[in-house]
Structures are given as structure tokens and as C-alpha cells.
Structure 1
Amino acid sequence: MKKLITLLGILFVSTPLTHAQANCNPEPPSGLSPLAAYSIFYENYRSGDYEFALDYGRWMICAKPEKLEGNPRFSLLTQYERMAKIYQEIARSKEDPSEKRAYVDSALTVLNEAIELFGEDPKAKFDLTFDRGRFYQENYNNMDDGLQKAYSDYEQLFELDPQRALNMGDGYYLRQALNNIIKQDRTEDAQAFIDKVKPHAEGDALEFIEEKQQEILGSPEEQIAYFSPLVEEDPENIDAWKALESAYENLDNREKLNEVKLKINELEPTYDSALDLAEFARSNANYSNAVKYYKEALDRASEDAQKKDLYLRLADMHISLEQLSTAKSYVQDALAIDPNDGRAYIKMATIYGAAVTQCTEGRKLEAEDKVVYWLVIDYLNKAKNIDSSVANTVNQQLSTYEDVTPNSEDKFFTLNLENGQKITVDGSLRSCYSWINETTTVR
């Protein structure tokens, strides 16, 4: 009977919250003032005399004082955390299983009540949920389904603050939470967890998440079977569309891949989504579409480096479309941003070389055409003089063009030119060169 009375005494916080409030004593023990009772509680807590501290701490859980006169640093949340630890430490010291479990139950009730009282503060809720998860894991032998409850709390941490949870325990809590979801065959929950956490992950954590992503989705065909109904049900599910993109890419289904990329660009119109579409169109030799999406990317570009790169890509597309004067204007736009980029000068040389090819289609190369190659060489030399990083590329091209510049007969007899003389490449040579309108030097 004496043992039963003892157990009933320590279980006053083990029952539901309302019952506990009805049976606890909000007054400090032995007629002490709140400050005196707290001081005894704290000193015994600090020294590790947990059972004595418990006698002087229970009233705080019952009374729930927000302030303590004479102690401006008093925090009720801190007292809840201390009381939970006290019950847990006393439980560890007990031999009798029923007594040990009673103290464990009391500690858990204190933690649950703390979450109920202080859970509106995000940081407090995170900390308390973590404490409860650790408590479940450390005491799973003394409660029902303790490990599962621990993993559920770890899972909740990633709902509350995924970035903070990722950085805890070198990924331990990530592994415990995600492995548990997958073990329970909760595929949709696992995918939702991954979608929430992955944007914050890097290094080993990201690698682990990607491994688990593959594990839950299986083959590309299985991924398509899983995500296709999701986008039918919710056409704006951007994460599902991105998963389908990856699956169709792995299957090299370019028709479906194009459809998915278009949808992603519609739902999430970013610089990257437009650039991705442009590159995809370019890889399919669909240069007109590539131009369209490079221009979309240009409208969304926020940095000069992005814009310069897009101008050069647009120049490439217009070269492929044989729209050389437009290609030239894009190179000029790139040079306006960075006049020291050798790639732009090489691109201009390429455009002028293509002009000769276009202009001589169906006929032989003549002296007037060869003059354009002096201009090509001018741009190649300027490229390597202004940007040493492109010197090797330029040197590989120079000899090709030098071999087709005007020879002595072309210069002196056909064109009536002298070395050192300036000559303009424009419609005076041939009408097809009128858009070039640049001057070079006879040599």
C-alpha cells in the first residue's frame, strides 16, 4: 500500500493535463515564498540531487508563474525543461520497472505540456520537439512504440525548420526520419519530405536524399507512372513536373521532354527555365525556337554576364539561320557589355567568314570576296591581342583564312590596290556585303 501511494504521488503530472491541474498544488512547499522554493529547487537541480529538487519544483508546473519576483531572469519554459530532465534522471536511478516507467511517463507529460504551452514560438516548438524525440529514443524500452514516436518527432523537425534540422547531428536526424518514412511505405509522404528538404541540402545530405529519391521512385517508367496522375490532378504541381522532366530525360523521350520543359517554363518562368528550353531547341537544330527562348531568357537575365553570353548564343543561332546582319548586331551588343571578351571578336570573324560563303554560293571565289578575309583576320588578331585566353583558338584559324586572302595578282591587277591602302568592305565590292560596312587594310 505504501508503494502504491508513492507511485500515485509521482504520477500527478502523468495524467491528462486537465486532471493534473486539478490535483496539483500551486503553492510552494513548506510555506516557502516562491523565490525561496525556486532557489532550493535550482541549487539541488544544479548539484544533481534530482529527487530533492523535484519536491521543490512541482509547484511551478502547477502554478505556471510567468514571472518570479526577485529573479528577473526567470523563464517558465526553462523550468519545464529542467523538470522533464529531473523525472528522466530519477527514472534512470530506479530498479523497479513500474516505478521507472512512472517517472518516464511523468517526464513525457511535462514535455507534452511544454509543447502545448510554448508551441506558438517556432524556436521553442522546434527545441521541445527535438527534446521529446530524443527522450522517446532514449527511453523506448519503458514506453509503447517509443522508437516510432521518436522518428515521428524527428520527421516533424523538418516540417518546422528543414534547414536547421539538416544541420543537426551530421545528417543523423535526416537519415532516421526519411528512412522511417520509406520503411513504412509512405511514398507520398517521402516525396513531400524530399521536396521540402532537398532545396536546403548539399554535400552528403544531398547525396543521401537523391539516393532515397531513386529508391522510392524506382525506374524512370515507375517515376512516370507515379507523377503523371499527380500532374493530371494538379496541373500546377511544379515538383511533379520536374520529376517527370528527369524521367523523360533518362528515357531520352525528347517529344515528351519538350512538353514537360514547356510546362515548367509556363509555371515557373525563370531565366534558367527559358535557357533550358533554348538549349533543348538548339540541340534539336530548331534554331528559330532557340532564338525565341534565348530572348525570353534575356528578358529575365539579371546580370551582365548572363546577357553577354545570351547575345553570343543568339549570334550563333542567327549564323545557323543565315541571318548574318542580325548575328552581327548581337555580337555588337555583347561587346558593348564587355569589349575585352575575345570570344566576341572571334564570333564577328566567323560571321564575316560566313558572309563570303553565303555570297559565293553557286559561283567561284573572286578577288572581291577575298578582301573580306582581311577583315576576318583583323578580328581574329584583335581577339588574341585583347584576350590571351583565346590565343590558341585564334592561331588554329588564322592560317585557314590567310591562305585565301588576295594574292599579288588580285591586289595589283584585279583590284588595283597597294599595300597599306584602306579599303571598305561594303556594297562597293558586291551588294551582298553592303551590311558589313567596315574598313580593313591591304597587305
Structure 2
Amino acid sequence: MKNRFLTLITVAMLGSGAASAQSGDCATMAALAYDDAKAKNYEAAYPALMKVMEECPKYSLATYQYLERVIEDKIGKAEEGDKAELVEELVEVLETRLELYPEKTKAGKVYSDIAQLKYDNKIGDKEELYNAYDKAWAEDVDNFTSPKALYAYFDLVVDMQDAGDRNLQDVFDQYDKVYAKIEKEENDAAEALAPLLKKQEDGEELSSKDTKKIKNAEINLKNYSMVRNALNGKLGARADCDNLVPLYKKDFEAKKGEVTWLKNVNARLSAKDCTEDPLFIQVSEALHTLEPSAKSAYSLGQLAESEGKSAKALEYYNQAAELETNKSDQAKIYYRIANNYKDKGSYGQARSFYRKALNAKPSLGSAYLQIANMYAKSANNCGDNAFNKRAVYWLAADYASRAARVDPSLASNANQAAAAYRGRAPQKSDVFQSSKNAGDAISIGCWIGETVRIPSL
């Protein structure tokens, strides 16, 4: 069918006179077809749109946009045996759109949509399906953003490894690249959300456009969180220390001089906390000798921490953070440093590093939750009267709520924490007796040094 489309396109483009003669007919045909599509009268719209595409292929991008909706509807209603032909028809529509309107079409989205169509409708074997997703990744990774497609791209490699067509290292490599992509998309969504949440928390009026942006960002964060959890579930026991250590131990002597191999092994063992095995020490020391880096310094910090050498561990962690260029990895290091300070009761320093972690990775909701926890623990020490001490819990609740919004995987625990903090904060009767009003600002002293506004109760 595609060859027929392309032939018609060629014919349609030969000679300006012929094109001019057709323009009136194209406008009439398209107007009628579009009206039916807008009214969701898809049975009538389908043949009319197909005719517009065949006879007037470059009339309007809308032809392809409407056809996509119409054929998707037909696929949804078709019997299983009839879907394959419709899927191929939709694939040809999408590819033709990309060919004729490349400036208005995202290649990564088109190719991942095509792969997903085939995946959902079981068209092709696993290798063919994987190659379809791989094409989207190779052609335009920036616009390969569908959470569902990213999961399928990983899922296929795991299934092929189970069937003996891929090895365990292939699964790990695929996990790493898909997980990194998900983290990037989460961070982009969280960065877009952060200033809008600040406006909302400060009581500023949001436009309808801002409200829509918040809704879309939160939906995206929720979907990516679900896929991230699904990836970890699918990886399952494949990534535990019992599998990782033997996999890498057998190659250590042969590859201990290869920096790239050492980096990959170090990252995998570190991520899974396989830090007590002698292999981790061997890999970390070999890597730090060959090429001192953020990864090797971080690993040596983990090693020092496991041996109870906290000062040495912090020294390595700070070195790692300064050397790290990957924002997500840098956030992990800052978060670990913050936890060290928090465990020692050095809350001011801990918050400083949690904030550095958030600057590097805005979707790191656990950092907000840790700050909320420290504020709550400090409530009795950071107010000059009983009311202001309890007001600290409003601030803690705000941070816990923010954690839930930027990282939906924490939503349940974070929202429970926020509710608990609000339960300890002044209630409506307390506000009335204090002669204060909703919206009034309360300055919180000591190490916290922030202002919180009385909410409407």
C-alpha cells in the first residue's frame, strides 16, 4: 500500500498546473472528511480521508492526524484476526506523514508508536519488535518518551534473555540506558513543576495554562514512577549480588586494566550494595588507581563507611560529588552525604546537602521528605512560643507534600507524613485564640530559618 501512496504522491506533485486544478477538489473533499472525523463519524470519515490522502497527499497535516484517530478506533473495535492489516495501514499512514511533514512530526514518537502498535497487537517476533523500538531510540531518542514504550523496550530484552537469545549483561546494559532515560524525563517534568508549585504554595493565583501544566507534569511523573518500579520488578533477582559477583569475578583478572569495564562493574555493584564482597574492594581500588573519578571515590567512600570510618567516608563522598558530571549520580552522592550529617544530628549541614541533591535532581522526593522529618524533630526547639513551635509542623507538612508531588512512588508515605504533621500543627481554634489569620507569615528561628504562612483551616 505504501508504494501506491508514494506513486500517487509523485503523480500529484508533477506539474504545477495539475496541482492547481486539483486544489479546489482537495479543499472540498478534505472539508467533508474532516467534518465527519470531528463528529467522530468514523465509518464515513475513513474512506473519505483515505481518498484525500491518496489524491491530495500534501493538502494538510490534518489528514494524517484524523486518519490516525480513525484507524486507531477501527483497530480497537476489530476482531483479533482483522487487526494486523489495520495496523499495517496505520503504520503506512504514520510513515507517510513523517516523510511529507518531517518538520511537524517527531521521528522518535512516530517510530516508538509504530513499535508499540506492533507490540500491543503481537505482530512480529521479539527480535523484530525489539528492532522496531531500537530504531526509535537510534533515530530520535529525545522524542522517544512514551513510558509504555520504554518499558516494552526493556521487557523484550529480558524475555529474550529468558529464551537464551540474550545474556545477562545485555539485560543490565538495557536496564541502565532505559532507567537513565526515565530519570531524565522525570527530572524534566519535576523542573517544569517546581516553580509552579512554589507559586501555588505562596498563594499566587495560577492561570489556566499553569494549572494544566501542573496536571500534565504530575501525570507524567506518576507514569514514569510506575514504569521505574516495573523495571526494577522485571529485573528482579537477576540483579542481586548472588548473580552479579560471580558474573564479574570470573572476568576480573583479564579485565582489571580496562577502565570502562571497571566503571561498569563498579557502578553495578555499588548500586546493589554488593560492597562487602572482596570483589568490590578489588574493583574500586583498581579503578581509582587507573583513573581517579567520581565513581571510584564514591565506592571508596562506601567502603570506608562500611568499616565505620565516617570521616574518611565523607572525604571520599565530597571528592566524588565534585568530580561527578552526571546530575543524577551527583544527586545520589549529595543525598548520601546529607544522610551522614542527619544521622549525626547536624541538621543544618544535612539540609544543605539535601538541597544540593535536589538542585541536581529535582524529582528526588526523598530529599524533601528527609528535610520534613528534620523540621518535625526540631519543632520544639525552633519557636519562641508554643504556637510558633507547633507552626513548624506546617512547614514540615509542606515539604512532605512536595515530596509526594515530585515523586509519586513516595506519595502514600509522604502524604501520610504530611497529614500527621498537620495534625500536630495549630488547629482552627488555636489560630483563632492567637489572634492570627490565614495567610499571616510566621518566622521560624534556629537552624531552620524559614517563613511559613498560616493555611486556611
Same fold? TM cut 0.5: no
**More relative contact order in 1 or in 2 (CA 8 Å, sep 6+)?**
2
| Normalised TM-score (structure 1) | 0.37
TM-score by length of 2: 0.36
